[in-house]
Amino acid sequence: MSTPTPENTFYVTTPIYYVNDKPHLGHVYTTMVADVVARYHRLRGDDTFFLTGVDEHAAKVSDKAAEHGLSPQAWADQNAAAFRGTFGKLEMTNDDFVRTSSDRHKRKVTEYVSALLKSGDVYEGEYVGWYDAGQEEYVPENKAKETDYKSPVNGKPLVKKAEKNYFFRLSAYVDDLLAFYEHRDQAGKGYVQPEARKNEIVNRIKEAKDVPISRTGSGGWGIPVPGDEEQTIYVWIDALFNYLTYVDDDDRRHYWESGATHFIAKDILWFHAAIWPALQMALAKCEGYEWVWGEGVQQSQLVYSHSYWVSDSGEKMSKTLGNFLDPAAIDNYVDEFGLDALRYFLATRGPLGTTDSAFSPDLFVEVYNNDLANTFGNSASRVSNMIGRYFDGSCPASSSGETREFPGVINAYQTSMQAISLWAAVIGHAMEAVGSVDSYIEQTQPFKLAKDPANLPEVGTILYNCAEALRIASVLLWPFIPDKCEAFWSRIGFGHYAEQLKGNGRGDLEAWVKWGQLKPGTPIEKGEALFPRYQVEKK
Ligand code: MSP
């Protein structure tokens, strides 16, 4: 095995989702994007680790549990199973599944916070704020001002209250954070992606104050502050550490050291863009944790912050608004169009950039027909039908022996995938290889040539070229539409690709996209249409 380096090791994560309720399309989306990227890296042969999971110690989880008359743990168990079930059904290839109530996570977080208490970056202080006695919670200064320092719920005056709290010394890391951002910008690989999101964060970092990281009155739901059983570690600090707790052992630490790619949405950017790297810097100053902020991390870790799926009326899909696609609605799409169609739609039409995307059922059908049925699906059927008709289903040989590599397409695809431009990788590049098959068929007209048996060698060359180009395109498309690509591979004698990739195995993209691997004489199965056209009912 080769030595791990940031170049051939890849660690990708998603947010860990609150288990106050079941998953919805927003959660599925981020995990799907991470899955496409993880599959791409495995396809390249990279040693890849993909982590997703759930965040359990939130007050809203214990509140919801109480509403249902269950213990927080029982409620969390139920919803964690729902998340795991949904991700499993959607064939996400995560290598582990975080639960923050797991012993592993709790033990490690306790160790990290103990180290930070010892170094002084976590310290005991006093939190002073506006307290709403009826709600038993603090109201932030700006909210309190809006309601004239009265409870937004019962209108009674808020009281100024002070309580003991533990703080993280974020203010001590302002200069280091700014230097880190600067360093990454100079190296041309910004820590926060897309770039447009960076400025607001940098301005906020300049003003950063120490942050409270504990709370009281959680009823024992949470990880206790080491040495102070009265207080629990604030859920966000507990949660951010998941990226580390699940890879902090001898077998997995090299993933961390290669620099994680964290996928999140814009709602939680501040925590990831400021608090998270500062926590790493602080921990790395503690004995035995120097590796936490090593070279690979400083050069390669990044936070990719996408936008929102919104409903047709432009509102963010969320549990509270109840306007989301829930697991049942997601299942309906999978039943009707197939899992790959959903994957493809989310990955190519989702809010990966800085604008929100509306989930429109009409657009879904249009994309399905135009991008999948009419292109890859249609070309695969045409080519295998012609091989069936003119060559008795046996792959013809190329009589010219010409080589038709696609170096431009492949390099551009790789560059786009590395830059997480999923739309460009597929539509701009992988589908270009498919499109070239269609235009080549139109130009060469094999179905006309085949009317004269003397032309069969030429028809054979054309069809060989078509099938080989489709095989190469299918390798590039695999991270997006794995099931259909694997079905196609098994029809053309390349079932071993799927075997090799099974169980999160590694492929060999560079070798697999080399021209001329399809073996003449191989039986080519026609099979059913990969993406049958979807007939839209006329209104
Ligand atoms: N538990 C925290 C995250 C801790 S990470 C250390 C949390 N959980 S959450 O359940 O609210 O999930 C938020 C994430 O879900 C977003 O950052 C995003 O990845 C995903 N999405 C939730 N709704 C979404 C949309 N409407 N659109 C796109 N993504 C959305 O925050």
- Give the tens place of pLDDT for each residue, 185-199: 999 999 999 999 998
Residues 204 and 69 in one domain: yes
In this structure, the answer to whether residues 103 and 248 fall within a common structural domain is: yes
Query: Do 425 and 304 fall within a single domain?
Result: no
Domain co-membership, 69 together with 157: yes
Query: How sure is the predictor about 322, in pLDDT bands with cuts at 50, 70 and 90?
Result: low
Report the atom number in ligand 1 closest to the C-alpha of 307. Answer: 28
Q: d(Cα 308, Cα 306) in Å, to the nearest integer?
A: 7
Q: Is the CB of 426 under 6 A from ligand 1?
A: no
Q: Is the CB of 333 under 6 A from ligand 1?
A: no
146 has a pLDDT exceeding 50 = yes
Gap from CA of 515 to ligand 1 centroid (Å): 42
Lowest-pLDDT choice from 203-217, 222-236, 506-520, 525-539: 525-539
Pick from 30, 33, 52, 324 the residue to mutate for probing ligand 1's pocket: most ligand atoms within 8 Å of its CB.
30
**Is a pLDDT exceeding 90 seen at residue 137?**
no
Please check whether residue 2 lies inside any domain of the structure: no
17 Cβ below 6 A of ligand 1: yes
The atom of ligand 1 lying closest to the CA of 54 is 1
> Are residues 303 and 430 both part of a single domain?
no
Chain centroid to CA 299:
20
CB 365 within 8 A of CB 349: no
pLDDT tens string 429-484: 999 999 999 999 999 999 999 999 999 999 999 999 999 999 999 999 999 999 99
- For residues 263-284, average pLDDT: 97
Q: Are residues 294 and 368 in the same domain?
A: no
pLDDT of residue 1: 43
Q: Do the domain assignments include residue 161?
A: yes
User: Do 304 and 437 sit in the same domain of this protein?
Assistant: no
Regarding the beta carbon of 27 and ligand 1, being less than 6 Å apart is answered yes
Last residue of a domain, one of 310, 326, 348: 310
366 lines ligand 1 (CB under 6 A): no
Distance between Cα 527 and ligand 1 center (Å) = 40
- 396 and 472 housed in the same domain: yes
Question: Which amino acid is residue 83, in one-letter code?
Answer: F
* Domain extent at residue 19: 9-310
How much is the pLDDT for 539?
A: 54
Give 22-62 pLDDT, tens digit per residue. 899 999 999 999 999 999 999 999 999 999 999 999 988 99
234 domain residue, yes or no: yes
Contact indicator for 124, 212 with CB cutoff of 8 Å: no
At residue 323, the 3 state secondary structure works out as coil
C-alpha span between 505 and 260 (Å, rounded): 20
CA of 232 to the centre of ligand 1 (A): 23
- The C-alpha atoms of residue 247 and residue 11 are separated, in whole angstroms, by 10
| CB of 317 sitting under 6 A from ligand 1 | yes
In this structure, what CATH number is given to the domain that contains residue 465?
A: 1.10.730.10
Residue 533 in any domain: the answer is no
Q: How many domains does the chain have?
A: 2
Specify whether 489 is located in the same domain as 376: yes
Residue 231 lies in a domain: yes
Does 534 map to a domain?
no
| Residue to mutate, 55, 312, 325, 357, ligand 1, most ligand atoms under 8 Å from C-beta | 55
Does residue 345 fall inside a structural domain?
Answer: no
Expressed in angstroms and rounded, the spacing between residue 24 Cα and the centre of ligand 1 is: 10
Q: How far, in Å, from the CA of 457 to the mean position of ligand 1?
A: 57
Tell me which residue has its CA closest to atom 9 in ligand 1: 17
470 and 434 in contact (C-beta within 8 Å)? yes
pLDDT tier, 382 (very low <50, low <70, confident <90, very high otherwise) = very high
- 290 and 415 part of one domain: no
pLDDT at 400: 86
The reply to whether 316 falls in a domain is: no
pLDDT at position 425: 97
Q: Under 8 Å CB-to-CB from 188, ≥6 apart: which residues?
A: none
Identify the pLDDT of residue 220.
87
Output 498 or 535, whichever has higher pLDDT.
Answer: 498
Q: What is the CATH number of the domain that holds 267?
A: 3.40.50.620
> How far away, in angstroms, is 308 Cα from ligand 1 center?
9
Average pLDDT over residues 495-524: 97
pLDDT score, position 538: 59
Q: In the predicted model, what is the mean pLDDT of residues 335-342?
A: 96
What per-residue string of b and e applies to 55-89 under the rule 16 or more CB within 10 Å gives b? Answer: bbbbbebbebbeeeeeebeebbbebbebbbebbee
Mean pLDDT: which of 26-30, 161-165, 213-217 is highest? 26-30
- Which pTM value belongs to this model? 0.94
506 lines ligand 1 (CB under 6 A): no
Q: 390 falls in which pLDDT band (50, 70, 90)?
A: very high
The last residue of one of the domains, among 250, 283, 310, is: 310
* Percent of the chain residues past pLDDT 70, beyond the cut: 97
Q: Looking at residue 489, what is its pLDDT?
A: 98
What spacing in Å lies between the alpha carbon of 463 and ligand 1's midpoint? 47
Stronger pLDDT, 140 or 429, i.e. the higher one: 429
Q: Output the residue whose Cα is nearest ligand 1's atom 27.
A: 308
Atom of ligand 1 nearest to the CA of 14: 19
| Cis peptide upstream of residue 194 (ω within 30 degrees of 0) | yes
d(CA 299, CA 189): 8
Give yes or no: residues 296 and 373 share one domain.
Answer: no
Q: 513 with 406: CB under 8 angstroms?
A: yes
Residues 246 and 366 in one domain: no
Average pLDDT for the chain: 94
Within 10 Å of residue 123's Cβ, how many Cβ atoms? 14
Any ligand 1 atom below 6 A from CB of 18? yes
Output phi, psi for 43, to 5 deg: -60, -35
Q: What does the pLDDT average to over 154-166?
A: 91
Q: Report the separation in Å between the CA atom of 264 and the middle of ligand 1, taken as the mean of its atom positions.
A: 7
Distance from Cα 265 to the centre of ligand 1, integer Å:
6
Give the dihedral of Cα atoms 90, 474, 532, 534; nearest 10 deg: 70
**Is 240 a pocket residue for ligand 1 (Cβ < 6 Å)?**
yes
pLDDT digits (tens, 9 = 90+) for 237-250: 999 999 999 999 99
Q: What's the gap in Å between 29 CA and the centre of ligand 1?
A: 10
Query: What integer pLDDT is reported at residue 277 of this predicted model?
Result: 98
Q: Which of 279, 310, 341 is the last residue of a domain?
A: 310
The protein residue whose alpha carbon is closest to atom 8 in ligand 1 is 17
Looking at residue 154, what is its pLDDT? 87
